[in-house]
């Protein structure tokens, strides 16, 4: 059965093409910075937005038909899987990501839900082999069902904790069965609405307990992939515990989870936390915790997680600059945690959206490579800290400086006499020159 009959396989046609269903910048086999674009970008399809979400919002019902020709829930799950692989094939996407409940509908009991998952997992395994696709990461949806209204691992009710653990155990098993390279914890409702009813210390201790149990179990059944925490500051709860990259790093270190976990950085979550996307990536990279990316963008004028397809080339360029500086992806990749706008309600819009996002990241990769080969920005940063490579600065860095020695140095100096310009505006124009001019590398 073909679900997207009007769409042929999307080809790279170069930036001059006016054809909507074509890549302008994403040329999968072209080498950029030592690897093919396809290897550098490791694009993944998000099952939840792409195959499941129907465009409903707080004020209205769905606008796009995602029934896949049937109302029977299990048949629908199967058709959804066939459609997913057709879509990935046509877009040339090698990876996908899912929550347990995206691939198979929840049953009346946990046992029934698990049996349904087993059935669909077997189908996905066949389709993956047939279509040569891989699982970037799996996760459990421990936020949608009403049992999780107070959280899952941080719920005040131990029965809820136990149920979440059972659900995560199964999600890990199917991730392993499908050869998944990662497993994500996004703290769905792991946060609070008011401290008037919340024991924050116990809730966070419990979350760490759940993560330790999950890691130990996953390793015991042969999972060699990376675990990720995906930071987000708010939504759905007022305050999410995994606020941002720095908060998550402190949590991981406090509970001894930092060896197993890396970060999955999402652009729109970064901006909700009051940071740039690049800031969050830089925090992850400089702390050896860069793992994977949920690619999307928010709206400057809206304070919520709009999950738009990424098209802002400044953002994708600075993102890929951080990725290249981190040495590229290892087990992670670029998962489009993005959805078409409610008004973009045709299957063709899904393809056009992915093309826009993939082209924006292809451009970002090309630009990041240019920024690095141009070298002016990196050289400026290196020069700016030159004072730490000789004299008193060298002593500070190598640990031989003392408070007395620094005082003697400062007293002899009298006052600081040299402080060179940070040249922000110049550098912003250098960046524009590299991005849009002809003078760059």
Site for Co ion in 180-199 (CB under 5 A): none
What is the chain's alpha carbon radius of gyration, rounded to the nearest angstrom?
24
Decide if residue 183 touches ligand XUL (CB under 6 A).
no
* 191-195 contact pairs (CB < 8 A, 24+): 191/151, 191/154, 191/234, 191/237, 191/238, 191/239, 191/240, 191/241, 192/237, 192/238, 192/239, 193/237, 193/238, 194/238
* The entry of ligand XUL, Co ion, none that residue 47 binds, CB within 5 to 8 Å by partner kind: none
* The entry of Co ion, ligand XUL, none that residue 365 binds, CB within 5 to 8 Å by partner kind: none
Handedness of CA 245, 246, 252, 255 (dihedral sign): negative
Site for ligand XUL in 120-179 (CB under 6 A): 139
For residue 190, the Cα-to-chain-centroid distance in whole angstroms is 18
> Out of 102, 226, 260, 337, which one is annotated catalytic?
102
Q: Residue 230: which of 46, 84, 38, 40 has the closest Cα?
A: 46
DSSP state of 60: B
The site map against ligand XUL for 85-114 (x = CB under 6 A) is --------------x---------------
Query: Alpha carbon of 33 to those of 313, 324, 360, 433: distances in Å?
Result: 18, 8, 17, 20
Site for Co ion in 65-124 (CB under 5 A): none
Other C-beta atoms lying within 10 Å of the C-beta of residue 386: 10
- Of the candidate spans 89-97, 331-339, 407-415, 432-440, the one that interacts with Co ion by CB under 5 A turns out to be 331-339
Decide if residue 190 touches ligand XUL (CB under 6 A).
no
Size of the site for ligand XUL (CB under 6 A): 10
> Out of 99, 150, 269, 275, which one is annotated catalytic?
99
Classify residue 399 as exposed, middle or buried by CB count within 10 Å of its CB (0-12, 13-18, 19+): exposed
By CB under 5 A, name the one of 173, 337, 359, 369 that touches Co ion.
Answer: 337
Residue owning tokens 């990376």: 226
Q: Is 99 annotated as catalytic?
A: yes
Considering beta carbons, is residue 68 or 98 the nearer one to ligand XUL? 98
Considering beta carbons, is residue 230 or 315 the nearer one to ligand XUL? 230
Considering beta carbons, is residue 99 or 366 the nearer one to ligand XUL? 99
Considering beta carbons, is residue 116 or 232 the nearer one to ligand XUL? 232
Please give, one letter per residue, the 3-state secondary structure of 134-188: EEEEEECCCCCCHHHECECCCCCCHHHHHHHHHHHHHHHHHHHHCCCCEEEEECC
Decide if residue 242 touches ligand XUL (CB under 6 A).
no
**CB–CB of 299/341 below 8 Å?**
no
Site for Co ion in 258-317 (CB under 5 A): 266, 294
* The entry of Co ion, ligand XUL, none that residue 203 binds, CB within 5 to 8 Å by partner kind: none
By CB under 6 A, name the one of 86, 260, 305, 322 that touches ligand XUL.
Answer: 305
Considering beta carbons, is residue 53 or 64 the nearer one to ligand XUL? 53
Classify residue 418 as exposed, middle or buried by CB count within 10 Å of its CB (0-12, 13-18, 19+): exposed
Least distance CB 168 / ligand XUL (angstroms): 12
Decide if residue 272 touches ligand XUL (CB under 6 A).
no
Residue nearest ligand XUL (C-beta atom):
186
Helix H or strand E segment including 252 = helix 245-254
Decide if residue 337 touches ligand XUL (CB under 6 A).
yes
Give the angle 342-344-350 at the CA atoms, nearest 5°: 110
Considering beta carbons, is residue 102 or 266 the nearer one to Co ion? 266
Q: Residue 365: which of 92, 21, 25, 11 has the closest Cα?
A: 25
By CB under 6 A, name the one of 266, 280, 315, 369 that touches ligand XUL.
Answer: 266
Q: Is 102 annotated as catalytic?
A: yes
The answer to whether the bond into 236 is cis (omega within 30° of 0) is yes
Residues designated as active site: 99, 102
Which residues sit at the interface with Co ion, rule CB under 5 A? 266, 294, 337
Which residues sit at the interface with ligand XUL, rule CB under 6 A? 99, 139, 184, 186, 230, 232, 266, 294, 305, 337
């Amino acid at each position: 059965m073909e679900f997207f009959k009007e769409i042929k396989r999307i080809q790279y046609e170069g930036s001059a093409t006016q054809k909507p269903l074509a890549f302008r910048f994403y040329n999968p086999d072209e080498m950029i910075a030592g690897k093919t674009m396809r290897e550098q970008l490791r694009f993944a399809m998000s099952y939840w937005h792409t195959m499941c979400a129907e465009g409903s919002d707080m004020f209205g019902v769905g606008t796009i038909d995602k029934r896949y020709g049937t109302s029977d829930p299990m048949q629908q799950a199967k058709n959804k899987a066939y459609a997913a692989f057709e879509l990935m094939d046509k877009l040339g996407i090698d990876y996908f990501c899912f929550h347990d409940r995206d691939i198979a509908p929840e049953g009346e009991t946990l046992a029934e839900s698990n049996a349904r998952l087993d059935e669909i997992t077997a189908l996905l395994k066949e389709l993956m082999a047939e279509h040569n696709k891989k699982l970037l990461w799996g996760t459990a949806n421990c936020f949608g069902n009403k049992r999780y209204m107070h959280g899952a691992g941080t719920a005040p009710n131990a029965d809820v904790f136990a149920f979440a653990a059972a659900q995560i155990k199964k999600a890990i098993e199917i991730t392993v069965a499908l050869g998944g390279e990662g497993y994500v914890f996004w703290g769905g409702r792991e946060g609070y609405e008011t401290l008037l009813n919340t024991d924050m210390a116990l809730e966070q201790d419990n979350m760490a307990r759940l993560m330790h149990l999950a890691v130990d179990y996953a390793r015991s059944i042969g999972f060699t992939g990376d675990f990720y925490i995906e930071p987000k500051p708010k939504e759905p709860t007022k305050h999410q515990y995994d606020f941002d990259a720095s908060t998550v790093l402190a949590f991981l270190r406090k509970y001894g989870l930092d060896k197993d976990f890396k970060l999955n950085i999402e652009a729109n979550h970064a901006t909700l936390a009051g940071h740039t996307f690049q800031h969050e990536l830089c925090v992850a990279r400089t702390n050896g915790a860069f793992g994977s990316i949920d690619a999307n963008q928010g709206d400057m004028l809206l304070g919520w997680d709009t999950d738009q397809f990424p098209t802002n080339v400044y953002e994708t360029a600075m993102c890929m600059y951080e990725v290249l500086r981190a040495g590229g992806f290892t087990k992670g990749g670029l998962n489009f945690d993005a959805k078409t706008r409610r008004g973009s309600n045709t299957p063709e819009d899904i393809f056009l959206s992915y093309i826009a996002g993939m082209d924006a990241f292809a451009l970002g990769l090309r630009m990041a490579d240019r920024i690095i080969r141009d070298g002016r920005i990196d050289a400026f940063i290196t020069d700016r800290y030159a004072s730490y490579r000789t004299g008193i600065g060298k002593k500070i860095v190598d640990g031989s400086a003392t408070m007395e020695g620094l005082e003697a140095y400062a007293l002899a100096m009298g006052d600081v006499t040299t402080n060179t310009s940070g040249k922000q505006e110049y550098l912003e124009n250098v960046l524009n020159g590299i991005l849009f001019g002809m003078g760059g590398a």
